[in-house]
Amino acid sequence: MSKITGEISIHTQNIFPIIKKWLYSEHEIFARELISNAFDAITKRNTIATRESKPNLAVAGAIHITLDKAAKTLTFSDNGIGMDAEDIQKYINQIAFSGAEEFVKKYQDQTENEGIIGHFGLGFYSSFMVASRVEIHSKSYRDGTTSARWECDGSTSFSITDGTRDEIGTDVILHISDENEEYLFDGRLEELVKKYANFLPVDILVNGKSTNVQNPLWTKAPTDVADDDYKSFYQTLFPYSPDPLFWIHLNVDYPFNLRGILYFPKRLHEMDGQKGQVKLFCQQVFVSDSAKEVLPEFLTILQGAIDCPQLPLNVSRSFLQNDPYVQKISKHVVKKVADKLVEEFRVDRERFAGYWDDIQLFVKFGMIQHPEFYDKSKDVILLKTTDNRHLTVGEYTATVDGTEKKIIYTSNPDSQAQYIQLLTDRGMSVIVLSTALDSHFIQFLESKETDLKFVSVESFLADETGQSEVDNAVYEQLFRTALDNEKLVVKVQALSDPGLPAIVTQPEFLKRLQEMSVAMGTRGQETSKLWDEYTLVLNSTNEIVQSLGVLNDQSESGELRHDIARHIYDLALMGHRPLSGQQMSDFINRSTALLTKIIPS
């Protein structure tokens, strides 16, 4: 064959998808594409051997990656279908002509598109992200064809000459550019194989060393997998992680093809909620560390892997999110996750309660984001009480006047221990809101269950108190003067515990707004004054409060009266939230002064 030269033809109508697909920020993607192409070639060869009754053509596929540091070359070799000069002209020189597309059309009546990743000819050009020159040495499986050699320096110019390869298959030789010499090390290539092709069902060798695992657990039927297998595979995906709590094995053939395993990881603290990682694969080839274009956001808090063979990976993310196929996947996975939660709850309620602290952030986030997830799993919502019990919403028994169900909560169980004790002594339960999402979540529940109302423990105590005959105006003037706050609202009521001098309350909406602001880190100086506007509820049955009516504002007793008023307010505030630095300093100094006054000299 005489030497052929020419210009690489780019199909204009297809250039934009190519540009979008291959403008990668990471050059390492070339390894994934060349390995994928090699695997496609092997799969095609064995498919033809079966469909055309050519048993001698079948091979045990293997992909060899060979480094030559002295020559600065990196070679990807396969024993796949191979190409002759005509194939190279069609599939390499005419960018965007998909060899896999033509192959599938030819055999579509005989095969279920078995194992064809489907981008032969396109991914090849990622080679030029790391190579200054690329060669192809290939021999076709067809009888009577000769081997061919193709060479290009990254421009649109190429040459094709007779090749020297004797065996069916293809070598792609990359002459690595100076700035990409990092890819001329065994360790770096082994790392890329493990990242992108660890689960391809073909042996991949780097300088003769077998590198990949080959058999991902998601390809097996769930009935064939033991618990220890799931845990072991979890360590393959996420080395050195604590064992997962439980998992969901996705194995769907209709109406779409989907495989995968989603693990519920153990959370060490709330911030770990941002560290989920569901890896996305396409026919066992790694695509992304995040499946957020395929799964709803709340599911990406989980860990694991999903394999979507029919996913159109060469389109934009926005297209994926709106693609009907992707939406079907998303909806199905949401249902499977909800079903798994309900199953875990019903099979072992106690064990599920032990998981709750680890999974509650995920469950609440999912319910807020997806109403259908709430509808399917609402019965497994657990409310953790201050005495470490876990109750469902239906099991919580604090009801008022027979119509509105009130759930009493605290966000500060340590600060509000005295308030909580008042209610637990009466056989009532107080739940703990412990996550940054809880303020949003209880509002969400109230919107879903119109007869349900969440009430803070201090608001509940203030609302249920009896009226007092003491004149509010006297006390209001005293506390406003003592605290130098003319806007302070003061009420005098008969609280149920005579040992409690006072409590401070806020409107429920303001309290939640404050907690949301703190959780989101948006509480600033301009809004902090709003948060500190409390109502002071004095207990008319408390002896200290009563004594304030006996003391007057003259001389030492007046000064003492003001100090006691300030002290009562700080004690009430401490039952609501921690004092600020200056407030705590003033409280300590005042405590010392009061002790000095009551201890005989």
Domain boundary pick from 431, 462, 493: 462
What's the CA gap between 151 and 174, in Å, rounded?
A: 10
Distances in Å between the alpha carbon of 73 and those of 177, 178, 227, 252?
Answer: 9, 11, 44, 42
Residue 269 lies in a domain: yes
With 80 as the cut, is the pLDDT of residue 272 above it? no
Between 553 and 41, whose confidence is greater? 41
What is the domain-level CATH number for residue 494? 1.20.120.790
* Final residue before a domain boundary, out of 462, 496, 514: 462
470-506 pLDDT, tens digit per residue, is: 677 888 888 999 888 888 888 888 877 788 898 888 7
- pLDDT bin (cut points 50, 70, 90) of residue 266 is confident
pLDDT of res. 202: 94
Same domain, 53 and 198: yes
pLDDT score for 576: 74
Q: Residue 214's pLDDT is what?
A: 81
Region 392-411 average pLDDT: 74
Confidence grade of residue 140 (pLDDT, cut at 50, 70, 90): very high
Average pLDDT over residues 334-340: 94
Number of domains making up the chain: 4
**Higher-pLDDT residue of 148, 551:** 148
Those residues whose C-beta lies under 8 Å from the C-beta of residue 398, and which sit 6 or more positions away, are 405, 406, 407, 408, 428, 429
Residues 592 and 533 grouped into a single domain? yes
* Residue that has been written with the tokens 């090699």 in this structure: 38
**Residue 359, in any domain of the structure:** no
Give residue 111's pLDDT.
42
pLDDT per residue as tens digits for the range 518-556: 655 554 444 445 556 788 888 888 888 888 866 655 555
Q: Which of 98-107, 390-399, 418-427, 494-503 has the lowest mean pLDDT?
A: 98-107
Q: What is the pLDDT of residues 27-39, one digit of tens each?
A: 888 999 899 999 9
Read off the pLDDT of residues 588-601 as tens digits, 9 standing for 90 and up: 888 888 888 777 65
Q: Which of 156, 187, 210 is the last residue before a domain boundary?
A: 210
Tell whether 513 and 550 lie within a shared domain: yes
Within a domain: 84: yes
State yes or no: pLDDT of 346 exceeds 70.
Answer: yes
pLDDT in tens, 287-330: 888 787 788 888 888 899 999 887 755 555 555 666 777 888 88
pLDDT of residue 317: 55
Residues 122 and 58 in one domain: yes
| pLDDT for 580 | 83
Considering the domain boundaries, does residue 183 fall inside one? Answer: yes
| Lowest model confidence (mean pLDDT) among 264-278, 345-359, 433-447 | 264-278
Which residue would you say has higher pLDDT here, 122 or 162?
Answer: 162
Domain assignment of residue 367, yes or no: no
What would the mean pLDDT of 180-208 be, rounded to a whole number?
94
Give yes or no: residues 266 and 394 share one domain. Answer: no
Mean pLDDT across the stretch 112-121?
A: 40
CATH of the domain at 449: 3.40.50.11260
Phi, psi dihedral angles at 314 (to 5 degrees)? -100, 30
Assign residue 30 the CATH number of its domain: 3.30.565.10
What average pLDDT does the chain have? 82
User: What residues make up the domain containing 221?
Assistant: 217-350
pLDDT at 510 exceeding the cut of 60 = yes
Instruction: Give the DSSP per-residue string, 178-247.
Output: GGGGGGGSHHHHHHHHHHHSTT-SSEEEETTEE------GGGS-GGG--HHHHHHHHHHHSTTPPPPSEE
Same domain, 142 and 237: no
345 lies in the same domain as 226: yes
Q: Do 311 and 428 fall within a single domain?
A: no
Residues 507 and 443 grouped into a single domain: no
Q: When comparing pLDDT for 430 and 215, which is higher?
A: 430
Q: Is residue 355 part of a domain?
A: no
Does 339 fall in a domain?
A: yes
Instruction: Report whether pLDDT(60) > 50.
Output: yes
Domain co-membership, 201 together with 227: no
Closest CA to 303 of 270, 339, 273, 335: 273
Rounded CA separation 94/97 (Å): 6
Confidence label for 115 from pLDDT (cuts 50, 70 and 90)? very low
**Backbone torsion region of residue 94, taken as left when φ is above 0, otherwise alpha when ψ lies between -120 and 50, otherwise beta:** beta
- Of 213-227, 311-325, 503-517, the one with minimum mean pLDDT is 311-325
Same domain? For 457 and 469 the reply is no
Q: Determine, yes or no, domain membership for 362.
A: no
Same-domain status, 189 and 235? no
Average pLDDT of the residues in 109-121? 41
- Assess contact for 43 and 116: CB atoms under 8 A: yes
- Following DSSP, what letter does each residue of 307-349 receive, concatenated? E-TT--TTS-HHHHHH-HHHHHHHHHHHHHHHHHHHHHHHH-H
At 562, is the pLDDT very low, low, confident or very high (cuts 50, 70, 90)? Answer: confident
Pick the residue with more confidence: 476 or 341?
Answer: 341
Q: From CA 509, how far away is CA 63, in angstroms rounded?
A: 63
